[in-house]
C-alpha cells in the first residue's frame, strides 16, 4: 500500500459505522473533514477525546468541518460506547464512528503501526479539504491524548492560507499577523492582496495584519 502524502486525493471507501454504512467521499460532500482513529472502544483516553469532539461540534460547524472517528470494533460496540461517552463526558456524540473490524480503512490510511501494535490503530488525525485532498496528518502514540485546540488552530490556518494566499508563523493564533509568501514579489499584487500594508524584517520575511480583520 503506497504511503499517503500531503496533497494526495484521499482513498474512498465504504464501511459500516455507528450511523449505518458510509461511502466516505459522498458522506464528506463539500465539507472539510477531520478523520481520527482510536485503538479500541471503551478505553479511557479515547472516551475523553470523543467527548471533546462532541463538545466542539459548534466550532467544527462554524468552519464547515465534519468529524468522523474510527476504531477496529464493530458498529454495535460503537453505539454502546457512545452511551458511555455521552454520560461521562456530558455531551452529545453527533458524528459517526467507523466500524473497521476488517482493518480495511486502517490499511488504506496506514493507521496500524507495528511498533505500537499489530492489531489496533494508533491515534492518527487526517485533515482533508473539500477537494478530498490530504492537508495534514498528526500521529500520536496509543497512550497520549490529542490536542484538539491544535486541530482547530491548524484548520483555521489552512482555511486562511487558502482564502488569502498567506502562510502562518510559528505559534500562530487566529488574529495574529501572517506571512506573505516569498513567491509573491510584485508590489502591485502585494498592495492589492494586502491593503493594510506589511513590515519586512528581512526581504524574505514579510508580515502583514490578519486579512479580513
Average pLDDT, the chain: 92
Boundaries of every domain in the chain? 14-146, 165-208
User: In this predicted structure, which of 42-56, 68-82, 108-122 has the lowest mean pLDDT?
Assistant: 108-122
Pinpoint the alpha helices (H) of 116-186: 148-164
Pairing of strands 199-202, 205-208: antiparallel
Q: Please state, in angstroms and rounded to a whole number, the distance separating the CA atoms of residues 51 and 132.
A: 26
Strand residue runs (E) in 56-170: 65-71, 97-99, 123-128, 134-140
- So what's the pLDDT on residue 121? 64
Helix (H) or strand (E) holding 104: helix 104-108
- Whether 200 shows a pLDDT value over 70: the answer reads yes
pLDDT band at residue 6 using 50, 70 and 90 as cut-offs:
very high
- So what's the pLDDT on residue 140? 86
Whether the pTM exceeds 0.85: the reply is: yes
Nearest to 72 by CA among 46, 33, 52, 91: 46
Average pLDDT over residues 156-165: 96
- So what's the pLDDT on residue 120? 65
Nearest to 67 by CA among 38, 20, 112, 32: 32
Per-residue pLDDT of 88-145, as tens digits, reads: 999 999 999 999 989 899 888 988 776 666 556 657 999 999 999 999 999 888 788 8
- So what's the pLDDT on residue 144? 86
- So what's the pLDDT on residue 60? 98
- So what's the pLDDT on residue 106? 86
- So what's the pLDDT on residue 15? 97
Please identify every residue annotated as catalytic: 46
For domain 14-146, say whether CATH 3.40.30.10 is its number.
yes
Per-residue pLDDT of 51-65, as tens digits, reads: 999 999 999 999 999
pLDDT band at residue 186 using 50, 70 and 90 as cut-offs:
confident
Amino acid at each position: 500500500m503506497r504511503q499517503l502524502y500531503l496533497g494526495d486525493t484521499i482513498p474512498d471507501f465504504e464501511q459500516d459505522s455507528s450511523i449505518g454504512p458510509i461511502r466516505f467521499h459522498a458522506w464528506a460532500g463539500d465539507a472539510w473533514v477531520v478523520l481520527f482513529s482510536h485503538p479500541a472502544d471503551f478505553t479511557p483516553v479515547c472516551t475523553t477525546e470523543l467527548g471533546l469532539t462532541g463538545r466542539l461540534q459548534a466550532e467544527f460547524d462554524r468552519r464547515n468541518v465534519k468529524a468522523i472517528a474510527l476504531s477496529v470494533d464493530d458498529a454495535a460496540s460503537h453505539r454502546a460506547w457512545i452511551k458511555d461517552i455521552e454520560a461521562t463526558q456530558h455531551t452529545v456524540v453527533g458524528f459517526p464512528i467507523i466500524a473497521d473490524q476488517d482493518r480495511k480503512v486502517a490499511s488504506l490510511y496506514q493507521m496500524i503501526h507495528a511498533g505500537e501494535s499489530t492489531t489496533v490503530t494508533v491515534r492518527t488525525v487526517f485533515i482533508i479539504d473539500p477537494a478530498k485532498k490530504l492537508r495534514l496528518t498528526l500521529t500520536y502514540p496509543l497512550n497520549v491524548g490529542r490536542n484538539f485546540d491544535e486541530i482547530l488552530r491548524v484548520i483555521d490556518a489552512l482555511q486562511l492560507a487558502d482564502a488569502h494566499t498567506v502562510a502562518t508563523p510559528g505559534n500562530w493564533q487566529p488574529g495574529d499577523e501572517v506571512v506573505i509568501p516569498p513567491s509573491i514579489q510584485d508590489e502591485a499584487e502585494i498592495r492589492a492582496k494586502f491593503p493594510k500594508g506589511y513590515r519586512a524584517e528581512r526581504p524574505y520575511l514579510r508580515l502583514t495584519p490578519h486579512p479580513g480583520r
